Amino acid sequence: MTITNDLEVEESRSVSPSDRQTLASGAGFTVLLYFGCFFGAVTLSAALVQATGGSATEVFGALLDGSVRARGRWGQTLGISVPLILVGLGTVFSGRAGLINIGQEGQLYFGSAVACYAALRLGDSAGWTEVFPGPLVLIFCLVAGALGGAFWAGIAGALRYWRRVPEVLTTLLLVTVAAQVVGYGLRKDWLLAVPRDGSKAAWRNISTAQLPPDQRMPRIEVFGNSFPISVVIVLAITAVVTVVLTRSVWGFRLRMLGLNSRTAHRAGVAESRYGMVAIFISGGFAGLAGAMMLTGGDFGNYHLTPGFSVNIGFDGLLVALVARQMPIVVVPTALVFAGLRTGSGFLAATGVEREITKIVQAMLVLALLIPPAILFVRDRRRAMTATKSRT
């Protein structure tokens, strides 16, 4: 059986004026529904801020200042959005294949550790400067991070397809394992740790050596804002991912597998092969995000430390969830989440705890997840009504 892209087999159909009016009204209802839910989330967040003794106007103003309006802040917001976009794109790949990968936090952390190990072993400290100059080490670092994340996700994929262990469990459990493995590496000189003098004070500050300047991601200066060149790279990656998932036969087969694995199998789509590739890509994107965090400078000051991932993996999962598996929507969603992170640093002046941003973030996530549920229930009721009328 020949598989063709669904976009290529669509036939041009004449649409009557009544059909156009119905489509327009449906689109208008959808827009109003999203706007109403978003406005309700903002209103409820403001009420919660007022109830805790703060000023909603000051809090939202501080969030805007900390993320966009203050000098140099939108550059930092762009830098923080880079790993969120990558993790979100990787989650879209696994989601299209019908896989539930929720272990991006561990895949990102392990990938950043592998990237750091590659940089330390090929950089100045290893005496390989003449063979591997700084820019080449940077490329190896990014590739190593992607391979590390893909390997960590591949463990869950292998258990899924060869032992039928649900990936939703293994990916989550591997987050804890990754934290322990990287923590062990940070305490061993032959892995990631900096040689110490043995004093207790030296062991309190656990981190790797700082990456030298020639192994860091170049940064762009625009109107007093500084952000890594990885911002441009992830935008290019987003464009490629969008084309692959929406305009290629491989992307169509991946979506077929996620929608109905039996139909995909009858059409000649190998579930284990496509599924493993999807979960490898998902973990690879998370590992690449960790490598870009390490080399970008917006996280950890070019050091790898315990807790380096700072929940970026889990936030990236939420980004993909809110974007509803649409790659092009991942970018603006990630910018919103990054803005909440950078803006929270300005909340101290308002007398409100920084954790209030987590409440605002949760409200926004719920606001963007409620409309799809309402539309699903509406369409299901219409389908049931149409079926009853025919019978």
Tell me whether residue 174 is in a domain: yes
Tell me whether residue 66 is in a domain: no
pLDDT for position 209: 86
Q: Clarify whether residues 361 and 344 are in a common domain.
A: no
Domain count, the chain: 2
Q: How far apart are CA 27 and CA 367, in angstroms?
A: 18
Helix residue ranges per DSSP H, 129-229: 134-162, 167-185, 200-204
Residue ranges of the chain with pLDDT lower than 50?
Answer: 1-15, 199-203
Tell me whether residue 68 is in a domain: no
Angle, helices 56-64 vs 356-390, to 10°: value is: 90
- Report helix, strand and coil shares of the chain as percent, to nearest 5: 75, 0, 25
pLDDT for position 10: 42
Q: Per-residue DSSP letters for 176-195?
A: HHHHHHHHHHTT-TTTTPPP
Q: Clarify whether residues 365 and 256 are in a common domain.
A: no
Residues forming beta bridges with residue 228, ordered by sequence position: 219
Q: Clarify whether residues 36 and 142 are in a common domain.
A: no
Q: Clarify whether residues 110 and 152 are in a common domain.
A: yes
Tell me whether residue 391 is in a domain: no
Q: Clarify whether residues 179 and 226 are in a common domain.
A: yes
Q: Clarify whether residues 43 and 115 are in a common domain.
A: no
Question: What are the pLDDT digits (tens) for 309-318?
Answer: 989 999 999 8
Identify the CA nearest to 83 among candidates 364, 271, 314.
314
Q: Clarify whether residues 180 and 228 are in a common domain.
A: yes
> Residue 3 in contact with residue 249, Cβ under 8 Å?
yes
Segment (H or E) for 220 = strand 219-222
Q: What is the pTM of this model?
A: 0.86
Per DSSP, 126 falls in state G
Segment (H or E) for 71 = none
The two most distant CA atoms of the chain are separated, in Å, by 83
Tell me whether residue 1 is in a domain: no
pLDDT for position 142: 95
Q: Clarify whether residues 291 and 378 are in a common domain.
A: no
Range of the domain at 135: 75-350
Q: Clarify whether residues 161 and 242 are in a common domain.
A: yes
Q: Clarify whether residues 288 and 363 are in a common domain.
A: no
Tell me whether residue 12 is in a domain: no
pLDDT for position 202: 45
Q: Clarify whether residues 336 and 374 are in a common domain.
A: no
**DSSP SS3 for 198:** coil
User: Which residue, chain included where needed, has tokens 């970008």?
Assistant: 296
pLDDT for position 21: 57
Q: Which amino acid is at 377?
A: V
pLDDT for position 8: 43
pLDDT for position 277: 95
Q: Is the dihedral of CA 153, 159, 162, 167 positive or negative?
A: negative
Tell me whether residue 149 is in a domain: yes
Question: What are the pLDDT digits (tens) for 241-262?
Answer: 999 999 999 999 999 999 888 8
Q: How far apart are CA 171 and CA 16, in angstroms?
A: 49
Q: Clarify whether residues 30 and 132 are in a common domain.
A: no
Helix residue ranges per DSSP H, 248-326: 249-259, 261-266, 271-296, 312-322
Tell me whether residue 246 is in a domain: yes
3-state per-residue secondary structure call for 343-379: HHHHHHHHCCCCCHHHHHHHHHHHHHHHHHHHHHHHH
